[in-house]
Chain A
Amino acid sequence: MGVAPAKVSQPVTQYVIRRILYLFPVLIGVSLITFVLMRMIPGDVAQVALGTNANEESLSEFRTAYGLNEPLFDWKPPFGQYGQWVGGLLKGDFGKSYYYRTEVRDDLAQRLPVTLELMIMAMAVMIVLAIPAGIIAGVRPNTPLDLITRTTAVFGLSIPVFWLGTLFMMLPAIWFNWMAPTGHISFFHDPLGNLQQFILPSLALGIPGAAGIMRLTRSSVLEVLRQDYVRTAWSKGLRQRTIVWRHVLKNGLIPIVTVIGLQMGGLLGGAVIVERIFTLPGVGYFTFQSILSRDYLGVQAVVVLAAVVYVFINLAVDIAYVWLDPRIRYV
């Protein structure tokens, strides 16, 4: 009789469960902080929404209509303004904008395609520019080509998005008397007009990110090239192209994909700037306007949605790591 095999523990499952449980405090924290911070902004919502000429009667009417007189927090149902808001969120109801008098959900649904297209195109810019350059630099470190790519990358990292965006807006206007069309053009109605509109904003948003990704790709490739299995591949006489494409990239790209995924939050911040410069009616610009006009529910919706996306990408990445790389242990 052999020794009974040691009971296989299930750290991965446990780890996944714990990570999912972590989502709750994080999302509660984000929603609470946003809720409280927005209400700490000086200024009266009703006054901002109705204008300075509004009389006391219509102001108080407005406050009652939007539930602004109710306590922020309450132990009894409906648990104050916070409880009502969270309850609505769970049912997919984001509440009504004070300023536009529209459903926040509709506002977002209308603006989301603009920001998503901007982000996807910016990511495409990053990938197309950064990954080939990073691989070339990593495969041939310390050559002139590597030096040129790296120097370009430092420059790219140092240019502020808002300045790059302003230059991209300004220079074609001065040189070619050409301006990107304003007002959103849907890709499905006019693909060419849509691309004309999005190409410069995406470049402005993507180039600084590309610089970071390029440097990461380079160091990741360098790192993998040092591994034993790559040396084995060399010694069994594989061609360099095969080694780079089949062996190095497979492992080297994992951290890069991660970082691209986690840059979503940063891209939303960049979208605030770029959409403002190019007057694109997207979520970024909406967020900015909502902060200025104390439109609590709009800002709260955007922040909570962004946090949900961030948290789930994070979770997916971490779980993928555990499954992909058995060397990673989670305690």
Chain B
Amino acid sequence: MATEVQAIEAWHTLPENRMWVATFLMRLRHHPLGMLGLIGVILFLLLAVFGRWIAPYSPTEQSSALMQSPTLSHPFGTDTLGRDIFSRVIRATPIELRVGLVSVFTGVGLAMVVGLVSGYLGGVVDAIMQRIIDAWLAFPPLVLLLIINSVLGTSTRSLIIALVIGTIPWTSRIIRGTVLAEKNNTYIEAARVIGASRRRIMFRHILPQIVAPIIVIISIAIPAISLLGAALSFLGLGLPPPTPSWGADVSGEAVTYMRNAPWMAIFPGAALSLYVLSFNLLGDAMRDIFDPRLRGSGSMR
């Protein structure tokens, strides 16, 4: 709800010109924490691209050095199979980024279509679509995704499908709200009067106006969905072994041997926390900049 209000109001403050990326970066200078978040996100992107040259070992290479405590040659120690945790943490970055970004962009993209159609057409279409979304939202989110991943089997692809399914209902609700707020404007009426088709009005007239709230939604969804995906991996129904994963690597043997080898659980979890923190800090700054009225407030998701 709070998110909905913020997102609706966000578009009022979207800079008129199309240089809003530049404007955003200009204003970000006054948000030290947002700047920190941006730096963090960029670092993780660099790690994703250049990680294979930074990581000293292969993430799946086993050795006889089992559960070694952190040393110079293994900065984060080794796990029960003698794999280098530092390398696994680094090589997990592109996987986590791909899963998070692909799921969120696909999910929000589909949610955009749902929200536009449902909000603009209204009537029976809206009623049916919204009852489906109601049912979808009534599921305990993690439980639904656990079931879906059991159906699809554990793979990167099924994790992405599950996360897309977890993204659509609440994001489409918010987008529908912004569409409802937008559709009674005079310019929409004008477009209708000159005979623009419904599809044209939805995608050429309304969509450009709701770009700002959609950006805000994406900035909320990336950290939230990354956490959800990691939780699935932690429960053993996300990324399949031996894929390096910040979620899965915290569970299993890491918990069994936590007294003797705490580094097995500490480092992957810390990496995930820093990753989510970077996106949260950047997202907060984006919300502040697009919606100065609610400066510093966050959302529930």
Contact = CB atoms under 8 A, between A and B. Distances in A.
Partners in one complex: yes
Interface stretch (B13-21, B42-50, B66-74, B291-299): B291-299
Give the interface centre of B141, B147, B254, B274 by most chain A CB atoms within 10 Å: B147
Interface in B266-285: 266, 269-270, 272-274, 276-277, 280-281, 284
Nearest to B258: A170
Contacts of B270: 163
A287 B237 CA distance: 14
Interface in B231-287: 231, 234-235, 247, 250-251, 254-255, 258-259, 262, 265-266, 269-270, 272-274, 276-277, 280-281, 284
Interface stretch (A34-42, A53-61, A101-109, A190-198): A34-42
Contact of A166 (B138, B230, B269, B277): B269
Given A160-B269, A163-B272, A166-B258, A26 B2 contact: no
Interface string B140-154: 111110111011010
B100 interface: no
Given A219-B2, A255-B2, 18 more contacts: A27-B138, A30-B139, A150-B296, A157-B298, A159-B276, A162-B235, A162-B250, A163-B272, A169-B258, A170-B255, A170-B258, A219-B294, A255-B1, A269-B140, A287-B143, A299-B143, A302-B140, A307-B138
Interface stretch (B75-83, B129-137, B188-196, B201-209): B129-137
A161 B231 contact: yes
Nearest to B236: A292
A277 B295 CA distance: 37
Contacts of B141: 265-266, 269
Nearest to B283: A154
A219 B139 contact: no
Contact of B231 (A141, A162, A173, A307): A162
A255 B147 CA distance: 31
B298 A212 contact: yes
A100 interface: no
26 contacts: A34-B147, A141-B296, A150-B296, A153-B298, A154-B33, A154-B298, A158-B280, A160-B230, A160-B234, A166-B255, A174-B262, A216-B2, A218-B296, A219-B2, A222-B294, A259-B1, A259-B300, A266-B141, A268-B142, A276-B235, A291-B143, A291-B147, A299-B147, A303-B143, A307-B135, A310-B137
Contacts of B150: 41, 291-292
Contacts, number: 188
Q: Categorize the interface residue count of chain A.
A: 35 or more
B89 to A, nearest CB: 13
B280 A166 contact: no
Interface residues of B, number: 55
Contact of A170 (B142, B265, B280, B294): B265
A268 B298 contact: no
